Amino acid sequence: MPVYRYPMPKGSEITPEKVFLNRRQFMAGATVLAAGASLPSTGYAQSIDDYEALNVAIKDSPYSTKDPANPFEDITTYNNFYEFGTGKGDPAANAGALTTEPWSIKVGGLVNNPSTIDINDILNSPELEERIYRLRCVEAWSMVIPWVGIPLANVLKKYDYQGDAKYVSFETLVRPEEMIGQRSAFGLDWPYVEGLRLDEAMHPLTILAVGVYGKQMPNQNGAPIRLVVPWKYGFKSIKSIVGINFVAQQPPTTWNLQAPSEYGFYSNVNPGVDHPRWSQKSEKIIGSGIFGSRRQTEQFNGYKEEVASLYEGMDLVKNY
Amino acid sequence: MAQSKLWTKAPTWVVYSLGFLPAAYLVYGVVTNSLGPDPIAVLENNLGEHALQFLLLGLAITPLMRFAKINLVKYRRAIGLIAFFYVVLHLLVYTLLDRQLDLNAIIGDIWKRPYITIGMSAFLLLVPLAITSNNFSIRKLGAATWNKLHKIVYAAVILGALHYMLLTKTWQLEPIIYFTLAVLLVASRKFYPKRKKQTRQNPQTSKTQTA
């Protein structure tokens, strides 16, 4: 199957910053329009041209899937990002309010050289690369997304973490004045927190993503920087990260706190372990229309060869 | 019983036409491919929600008459049948489009997933009601038996709303509102004001009259 390739824009084609910023005003107007519609409409999705291009050399990664990627519109209008509402269209409608500049990530915990990473250091990193991953949501759907990011290991290995650091914890921004979902009395506790075992965090498949389709990350997808762990259910891939900590104990994770029997710490994609309320054997392919097909869910979302060794000897039914 | 003439003027076909509008809107969405990246879920969720809305509307007819003296009984059959129409479409989208007639998956769902077990029970409860929603059945069964049979709708609405509440990942406002309305409408049947031989604007005077 041919791999989708998008043309890299010339410098002259890159959206001027002023136009880019106007996007927010456009979004504010669009939100009002969208509120009047009774059906979730995709009419307010911005065009890919509104996003600033990242300086990334596109090369095939052995970790990328060969399956065709979903269009930019699918990726940016069908989101789970409860900070901006629980509907799939809510993040596209509401995330325009989020300010992502300036942005920094505090790295600390059991580390001898804690520091703060400026987002620009990653946005301008020569180590950015494209990874085309299938995102398998715990809700039994999937889509293929061409992320741009940097292996998390490249960032973590700059830190002199202590011997008893066994896990890495992550934290999302809390800013209720810009994140409408955080003002709701219903739903999750904030901040959204996630965690990985240190060896999972260091695995070359695990990336910190800063863009899609060669452009900076749209707000609704977790701008400006998010985790992507392709062999785990989507909710492990925490968005809009402001904190990373090396810790000794397995850290609390948001969905596990919400419903421990439904969402485990590991949450590896596993067709053999059903969610208590729905089957995980197959997944709906997003973007395939009303007569679209389903596909059989793969163990570790297709990365069995790369990651199965991390869980050798572990009971994956018990450690769901 | 005194009633506002305005309410009963519209012929029933107007109610049917209005009732099918949301379905037409969804069909339009399918044809123009404007339901977003996951049109099946949009169809499923909207059809299910419309079914609940019409069921609740049907359940509101009697309380409206008893508490507010607005008599819309004429339209109740239409409203109930429209609700059933949305339930059937909702079920068809689930079995044909979502599960693609994978019978093992569907039976597994009904057997193992409480929210689907509950939804399916609500559907089964509604089938005899839809079948008997005609004058012939009322004559055949007798008004008293027919009335008793159609009280099943109370259970169906509450199960339907529960079905919605159990499928979301977190507590969300909308399903809670539907469930609360369903419970309130069913419970309101216990609190009807006593019917008098003569209805008066002033209940105080009517009380002394009948005493």
Q: Which of A43, A188, A289 sits opposite B170 (nearest CB)?
A: A188
Which of B38, B46, B89, B94 should we substitute to test contact with A (largest number of A Cβ atoms within 10 Å)? B38
Select from A73, A277, A283 the residue whose CB has the most chain B CBs within 10 Å, as the one to mutate to test that interface.
Answer: A277
Q: Which residues pair with A283 in a beta bridge?
A: A295
CB atoms B38 and A259 under 8 Å: no
pLDDT confidence of residue B27: 95
Residue B146 burial class via C-beta count within 10 angstroms: exposed 0-12, middle 13-18, buried 19 and up? middle
Does the pLDDT at position A176 exceed 80?
yes
Q: Across the interface, do A292 and B166 touch by the CB < 8 Å criterion?
A: no
pLDDT over 50 at B206, yes or no: no
Residues A33-79: pLDDT tens digits? 444 343 333 444 468 888 989 988 777 789 999 999 999 999 999 99
Residue A19: what pLDDT? Answer: 44
Highest mean pLDDT among A288-297, B100-109, B117-126: B117-126
E strand residue ranges, chain B? none
Two structure tokens written together for A105: 């990530």
Q: Taking a C-beta distance cutoff of 8 angstroms, is the pair A277, B115 a contact?
A: yes
Which residue, among A178, A212, A213, A172, has the nearest Cα to A195 in the 3D structure? A172
Assess whether pLDDT exceeds 50 at residue A214.
yes
| Paired tokens of A219 | 């707000």
| pLDDT for res A60 | 78
Question: Is residue A288 within 8 angstroms of chain B, CB to CB?
Answer: no
Interchain proximity A88–B98, CB inside 8 Å: no
Query: What is the predicted pLDDT for the residue at B174?
Result: 92
Distance (Å) from the alpha carbon of B115 to chain A's nearest alpha carbon: 7
Distance CA A190, CA A172 (A): 8
- Structure token digits, residue A51: 């996003």
User: Between residues B172 and A29, which one has the greater pLDDT?
Assistant: B172
Query: And the tokens for A174?
Result: 């809390």
Do A279 and B169 count as a contact with CB atoms less than 8 A apart?
Answer: no
Q: Is B104 on the interface with A (CB under 8 A)?
A: no
Contact criterion met (CB below 8 Å) for A87 and A139? no
- CA angle (A258, A264, A268) in 5-degree steps: 135
Q: Which helix (H) or strand (E) holds A61?
A: none
Phi-psi category of residue A214: left, alpha or beta, with phi > 0 → left and psi -120 to 50 → alpha: left
Name the residue among B93, B126, B122, B128 with its Cα closest to residue B110: B122
Specify which of A22-26, A260-264, A287-291 reaches the highest per-range mean pLDDT: A260-264
Task: Choose the closest CB to B97 out of A141, A184, A291.
Answer: A291
Domains annotated on chain A, with CATH: 11-311 (3.90.420.10)
Interchain contact, B113 vs A277, CB within 8 Å: yes
What whole-number percentage of chain A has pLDDT above 90?
Answer: 77
| Residue A79 contacts residue A220 (beta carbons within 8 Å) | yes
Its pTM stands at 0.81
Q: Is residue B207 over pLDDT 80?
A: no
Q: In 3D, which of A146, A119, A129 has the Cα closest to residue A224?
A: A119
| Of the listed ranges A140-149, B22-31, B126-135, B193-202, the one predicted with least confidence | B193-202
Mean pLDDT, all residues of chain B = 89
Average pLDDT over residues B196-205: 51
- pLDDT at residue A148 is higher than 60: yes
Q: Taking CB atoms and an 8 Å limit, are B36 and A291 in contact across chains? A: no
Q: What is the ipTM of this complex?
A: 0.75
